[in-house]
Amino acid sequence: MAYGLRYTITQKLRDDLNQVVKIYEEDYVGATVTTYEATSVNIQPNSNEEDPIGGIISSQLDVSFLISTEEDYDNFPELLNYNDNKYYVELVIDNNIKWKGFLFNDYINVQFTTGNQEVSITCIDGLSFLKYIYYDSEVSINDLITLLNIIGQGLNKIVYPNMTFIYACCSYYASSMFDRSDAGGDEPFKQAYQYRRDLLNLDYFTILDNIVKGFGCRLFQANGDWYILPMNQMATTIYYTRYVVADVPSNSGNGILDNLIEIEPYAEGNVHFVNNGQT
């Protein structure tokens, strides 16, 4: 599946960097890239369940931008189509992908005005697609399959055009290991197995949700990749094994997460916490 860059929506940040929403159209080979000015760019979870310990946290990108010229209207995305993968979307800051997904064709908001019009669109990460894709086995249903391969097969159904990784950060380990770092590649999803027959008649969303909750973890997207992290508490050192998303994921390295945020207590000059007495 080939995509060509069709639209860019840009918003300037307070640190003088630009965040750019890039929208790629399937099979587009033209040279015209329509640019819009963003009024709002926001990422938020879009889970429709009230389960406080839900295993899968899907997300959406909400974008509002201005259209004003005849060219803006003529080149507007074709949102009334039935191809969920027609428009692939990336949120990029300083050449780094912060989020990716697909334009949600069922929703658009255009306010009536006699001047500039503000258009609001929604993009989704694609995890909800898995609710309509059911597991099917081409080999004996009595064979075993690793949980890692099941996870890879499920996430591979979300057809991103570029390489995507799975960061498995679940740190259960064997009794002969002193800690996770003794065998960084021997994380639990690689070593646990399931009979294929147990997966029949289940959609991939349910399968992945059951797997990650079984290990007390959550699955979500961050920086354009998939992360599986424990939901109850975080260790001081968080080890990960990185895999390339595929039906049979390949190991792409081990390491320690360094993209952690340290929240400092309140002190004069910072605004980490508000104590209701600040103005």
With a pLDDT cut of 70, the percent of the chain lying above it is 80
| pLDDT (average), residues 243-248 | 96
For residues 130 and 203, give the distance between their C-alpha atoms in angstroms, rounded to a whole number. 7
Give me the pLDDT at residue 276, please: 47
For residues 90 and 85, give the distance between their C-alpha atoms in angstroms, rounded to a whole number. 13
| pLDDT (average), residues 193-208 | 94
> b/e per residue, 232-244, with b = 16+ CB within 10 A?
eeeeeebbbbbbe
Of 88-102, 206-220, 256-270, least confident by mean pLDDT is 256-270
With a pLDDT cut of 90, the percent of the chain lying above it is 46
- Mean pLDDT, the chain, rounded, equals 83
Q: Are 45 and 99 in contact (CB under 8 A)?
A: no
Model confidence band, residue 271 (pLDDT cutoffs 50, 70, 90): low
Q: What is the pTM of this model?
A: 0.85
Of 6-10, 12-16, 203-207, 233-237, least confident by mean pLDDT is 233-237
Q: pLDDT tens digit string along 58-74?
A: 999 999 988 877 777 77
Using the predicted structure, report yes or no on whether residue 9 has a pLDDT greater than 90: yes
Model confidence band, residue 189 (pLDDT cutoffs 50, 70, 90): confident
Model confidence band, residue 212 (pLDDT cutoffs 50, 70, 90): very high
Identify the residue with better confidence: 186 or 82: 82
Tokens of 258: 């360094």
Q: pLDDT tens digit string along 101-149?
A: 999 876 665 665 556 788 888 999 999 999 999 999 888 889 999 999 9
